[in-house]
Structure 1
Amino acid sequence: MLTLKSLGAAKTVTGSKHLLTFNGRRLLVDCGLFQGLKNLRELNWAPLPVSPRSIDAVVLTHGHLDHSGYLPRLVGDGFRGKIFATEATRDVAELILKDSAFLQEKDAEFLNRHGLTKHKPALPLYNVADAQRAMEHFSTVAFGQTIGLPSGATLRFRHAGHILGAANAEIHWGDRCLMFSGDIGRYNDPLFPDPVSEGAPDYIVVESTYGDRLHPDEDPAEALGAIAERTTGRGGTLVIPAFAVGRAQQLLYYFWTLKQAGRLGSVPIFLDSPMAIDATEMMCRHGTHHRLTPAACRAAFSIAHYTNDVEASKAITASRFPKIVIAASGMMTGGRVLHHLKTFGPDARNTILLAGFQAPGTRGRLLQQGARELKIHGGWTPINAEVTQLDMLSAHADSNGLMRWLSGFKRAPECVFIVHGEPPASAALQARIEQELGWRSVIPDPDEEFDL
């Protein structure tokens, strides 16, 4: 009997982990960290309901932390199998996991040095050495290639759009075929290929991040240019918290098109994130995974001043001249963007642009909800800057995009499992699936097991 159980991303938009079990063998599809609210983050410290050593293999749809970030802990707790991913996803995961481990080490060191922890001592969930050990388990798979997995299943990756290397995972096991969406990207995205929906799966596991909303039809470059010109025109700085992988490169591309059109004048653009800089260079190395020509890739990503070291980042913060600053992290949970928020947030001439999904419990969600002060580095920072959001910059498909992806399959599946969304988003997508497609669908509870 084949069973499915979601150990993460069930009725929440983070921590993706989907466990398949068949005749005593186990596969884990995605292995993400819980992020956002404290009660979710604490789940990262709880042991999995199954022994990591009992899992034969992991299938990784893409490298974002909420899909890959638990891998070092899984390996540290005894997982000995292989992690199957596309080549670009493997490189993205290495970048993200090592950065996550480094930040955790630094956070623990800070808390211990200042006595700001109940734990004696505070420890990271995993360290850089743990992240490196996890990378030794990776095995890369080309898009469209069908391979056998150690458990007797077969795996095939297809393009999902979204970010560099992202894939849907089609798994055949026994007499069943399952399709895991991973995160579905946007159709007609200028950087990444359209999501692919092929075949006739018996079961589909689909994300629902934007299941209850539609992205605006407005041209992203035009909207971005209007905000940048309005801000710099009043002598201000535009601060854009951005995911280092995907969003940062998207923003650079749009700013390049604006400069090509004679917009923005001589306003300097700074990419202030070592990880985003590495991810940008990675884009040009993996030219078959995106739409840009090599020449366009080099040109678009040379539009910004790259700041790798801390002193250069401090110089950006010290400058009061109009400029555009792109810095991680995208939901303002950490990173260099916090220093820019502390400096530029109190001044009404400046703008903070939310350029993507903001999970509950993050500073980004608080700003989205109208907060006028943020707790940063132990103190409160007033936010007098303009706060605006561009939903059309999201790397996730909206409700129509998700429905388009689902309707591309050859026949109705036996069931669609709706995951990786806040409850209202998942419920809205469920209603559309049942009303427009007539398909059976379920929103799993955490750790709820289904016989397939």
Structure 2
Amino acid sequence: MNVRLQFLGAAHCVTGSKYWLTLDGLPTPHHVLIDCGLFQGLKELRLRNREELPLDPSLLDPVILTHAHIDHTGYLPKLVHNGFRGRIFCTEPTADLLSIMLLDSAKLQEEEAAFANAKGYSSHHPAVALYTQTDVLQVLPLVESVAYDSELTLCEGALTLTYREAGHILGSAIAELTVQGATQRKQLVFSGDLGRYDNPVMHAPAVIREADVLLVESTYGDRDTHLQNPEEELANVVNEALRRGGVLVVAAFAVGRTQSLLYYLKKLRQEGRVPQAPVYVDSPMGIRVSDLYPRHPSAHRLGHGNVFDFSGLRFVTESWESKALNDKSGPAIIISASGMCTGGRIMHHLYHRLPKPQDTLLLIGYQAEGTRGRDLQEGAASVKIFGAAVPVHCQVQHLDGFSAHADRQDLLRWLDQFRHPPQQTFVVHGEPAAADALATTLRQRGWSNVRVPGYLDHVLLFENI
């Protein structure tokens, strides 16, 4: 059997995760896709979402997902639209998240296309959504959940899948794949996105001891982002923002970041370290995701019950309520998505709040190159919203320490647990500087075969096993 791998995304960039694994030499060749994400950020990356994949989707079976974030799952509706009819495997919490996130992604695309056509600012005439909510409904029946630490046999017994805890978001997993050839067995490990060891909400990433081939993410492969005291750092931003009598707008990913933020705010308010100002969660998806935590108590550290609720917290569900927040004066806190300020309800809040000096925008996670969030983090004097240049007069704060991604220290801690370096290591899911830095560090530590693959690179992993 020959085993091949092609990098269809997350190579020299942080988004678009797709890895095409081919097993040749069986009675029928088997094609497996690990993750199926959308490219986000720079226009040159986003344009790849509309390019045809170098494979026939009808030949794929299965798709193996590491977690539910759109840069790992958001291409699924397009894949199904183009002919995929195989199985989609993920953990049970990820399966619950998928229906929420993919429908939201499709809805946003449809709304943005309609808005662009109405306002006439799209470069495409007419603007067309990449996929629709109808396409998403074709995806969901194909999804099958797999429990952590249970072995699933695939591809006529030539491949087995085992999910291990990744600690990134609810349901996130490391995918361990075992390839059984005629004479040899090989272990392939796909890290997915790894979480932090000090996350109070999520479990720590599972220990992996052995791998013949490893794909490891490198989002923060070039830097340490741990805050010395994340609670105190957040309290300082909240107190400063509310002291000015303004509104604090927090750009938070609906999955993971919103829930961690609510955990910290609840704790700070209970301890009297921040004012009892009203807190509005203006993210329908964030609200639905928060409701999943009590359904999966073993998948996080918070246990049973309504783990995020506190006095003064209001979940904003209706669009008219969301729009009414534009007229609200401070002190108040609005948590909204998307976390990179690329779409969703936060766009309206940015449009109204960025020009106001008394207000504050807090970015609490990784901001990909080419996103509005990255521009704001880097001090842009204005940003384009709804086709108009909006001046930035508000305070802009950024706390990397609340990212759900492992930083350099976390990554090395996880990698150091391998008994010996894998035969082949591929550093993926990172901008070039971050991926190259992690690869260099691993080489310095004695990992001899470490590569940073490029987009569409094709590798023969094993021959005649």
TM-score normalised to structure 1 length: 0.97
**What CA distance in whole angstroms lies between the structure 1 residues aligned with 2:249 and 2:298?**
31
**What CA distance in whole angstroms lies between the structure 1 residues aligned with 2:124 and 2:275?**
52
**What CA distance in whole angstroms lies between the structure 1 residues aligned with 2:372 and 2:327?**
23
Report the CA distance between 1:342 and its aligned residue. 1.6
In structure 1, the residue matched to 2:21 is 20
**What CA distance in whole angstroms lies between the structure 1 residues aligned with 2:291 and 2:310?**
8
| Residues 1:106 and 2:111 are matched in the alignment | yes
Report the CA distance between 1:304 and its aligned residue. 2.0
Contact 2:169–2:404 (CA under 8 A) maintained in structure 1: yes
Contact 2:276–2:312 (CA under 8 A) maintained in structure 1: no
Aligned equivalent of 1:67, options 67, 72, 96: 72
Report the CA distance between 1:439 and its aligned residue. 3.7
Aligned equivalent of 1:97, options 91, 99, 102: 102
Aligned equivalent of 1:409, options 372, 396, 418: 418
Contact 2:207–2:414 (CA under 8 A) maintained in structure 1: yes
Contact 2:57–2:82 (CA under 8 A) maintained in structure 1: yes
Contact 1:255–1:303 (CA under 8 A) maintained in structure 2: no
Aligned equivalent of 1:383, options 375, 385, 392: 392
1:147-199 CA deviation, whole Å, 9 max, x = no partner?
A: 01245310000000010000000001132210000000000210000001224
Contact 2:19–2:34 (CA under 8 A) maintained in structure 1: yes
| Residues 1:336 and 2:341 are matched in the alignment | no
| Residues 1:170 and 2:187 are matched in the alignment | no
Report the CA distance between 1:293 and its aligned residue. 2.1
Contact 2:189–2:215 (CA under 8 A) maintained in structure 1: yes
| Residues 1:10 and 2:2 are matched in the alignment | no
**What CA distance in whole angstroms lies between the structure 1 residues aligned with 2:170 and 2:222?**
25
Contact 2:249–2:334 (CA under 8 A) maintained in structure 1: yes
Contact 1:183–1:207 (CA under 8 A) maintained in structure 2: yes
Aligned equivalent of 2:163, options 137, 157, 180: 157
Report the CA distance between 1:114 and its aligned residue. 3.5
Cα RMSD (Å): 1.4
In structure 1, the residue matched to 2:283 is 273
| Residues 1:309 and 2:313 are matched in the alignment | no
Report the CA distance between 1:116 and its aligned residue. 3.6
Q: Structure 1 residues 301 and 432 mapped into 2: Cα distance closer, same or farther (>3 Å)?
A: farther
Contact 2:221–2:411 (CA under 8 A) maintained in structure 1: yes
**Residue ranges of structure 2 left out of the alignment (5+ in a row):** none
In structure 2, the residue matched to 1:128 is 133
TM-score normalised to structure 2 length: 0.94
Report the CA distance between 1:115 and its aligned residue. 3.7
Q: Structure 1 residues 167 and 301 mapped into 2: Cα distance closer, same or farther (>3 Å)?
A: farther
SS in 2 for 1:212: coil
| Residues 1:293 and 2:286 are matched in the alignment | no
**What CA distance in whole angstroms lies between the structure 2 residues aligned with 1:194 and 1:331?**
25
In structure 1, the residue matched to 2:88 is 83
Report the CA distance between 1:110 and its aligned residue. 2.0
1:256-314 CA deviation, whole Å, 9 max, x = no partner?
A: 0101101223211110010000011111211110000224x435467621000011112
Alignment of 1:315-354 (within 5 A): 315-354=324-363
**What CA distance in whole angstroms lies between the structure 2 residues aligned with 1:39 and 1:400?**
31
In structure 2, the residue matched to 1:233 is 243
Contact 1:167–1:181 (CA under 8 A) maintained in structure 2: yes
SS in 2 for 1:66: helix
**Residue ranges of structure 1 left out of the alignment (5+ in a row):** none
Select between 434-443 and 99-108 the one with higher mean Cα deviation.
434-443
Aligned equivalent of 2:217, options 207, 214, 233: 207
Select between 218-227 and 43-52 the one with higher mean Cα deviation.
218-227
Q: Structure 1 residues 122 and 438 mapped into 2: Cα distance closer, same or farther (>3 Å)?
A: closer
**What CA distance in whole angstroms lies between the structure 2 residues aligned with 1:430 and 1:298?**
39
Aligned equivalent of 2:437, options 428, 432, 438: 428
1:373-401 CA deviation, whole Å, 9 max, x = no partner?
A: 11111111111111111011010001111
In structure 1, the residue matched to 2:144 is 139
Report the CA distance between 1:111 and its aligned residue. 2.5
Contact 2:226–2:407 (CA under 8 A) maintained in structure 1: no
Select between 196-205 and 327-336 the one with higher mean Cα deviation.
196-205
Identity of aligned residues (%): 45
**What CA distance in whole angstroms lies between the structure 2 residues aligned with 1:100 and 1:21?**
29
**What CA distance in whole angstroms lies between the structure 2 residues aligned with 1:210 and 1:302?**
35
Contact 2:357–2:394 (CA under 8 A) maintained in structure 1: yes
| Residues 1:195 and 2:205 are matched in the alignment | yes
Contact 1:242–1:327 (CA under 8 A) maintained in structure 2: yes
Alignment of 1:45-60 (within 5 A): 45-60=50-65
Q: Structure 1 residues 300 and 392 mapped into 2: Cα distance closer, same or farther (>3 Å)?
A: farther
Amino acid at match of 1:424: A
Amino acid at match of 2:16: G
SS in 2 for 1:298: coil
**What CA distance in whole angstroms lies between the structure 2 residues aligned with 1:349 and 1:415?**
52
Count the aligned residue pairs.
451
Report the CA distance between 1:118 and its aligned residue. 4.7
Amino acid at match of 1:268: P
**What CA distance in whole angstroms lies between the structure 2 residues aligned with 1:191 and 1:437?**
34
In structure 1, the residue matched to 2:373 is 364
**What CA distance in whole angstroms lies between the structure 1 residues aligned with 2:226 and 2:155?**
44
Select between 210-219 and 51-60 the one with higher mean Cα deviation.
210-219
**What CA distance in whole angstroms lies between the structure 2 residues aligned with 1:289 and 1:347?**
40
1:416-445 CA deviation, whole Å, 9 max, x = no partner?
A: 100000000001100111112434200011
Report the CA distance between 1:16 and its aligned residue. 0.2
1:107-144 CA deviation, whole Å, 9 max, x = no partner?
A: 22223333444544332111001111111110100000
Contact 2:30–2:155 (CA under 8 A) maintained in structure 1: no
**What CA distance in whole angstroms lies between the structure 1 residues aligned with 2:290 and 2:357?**
31
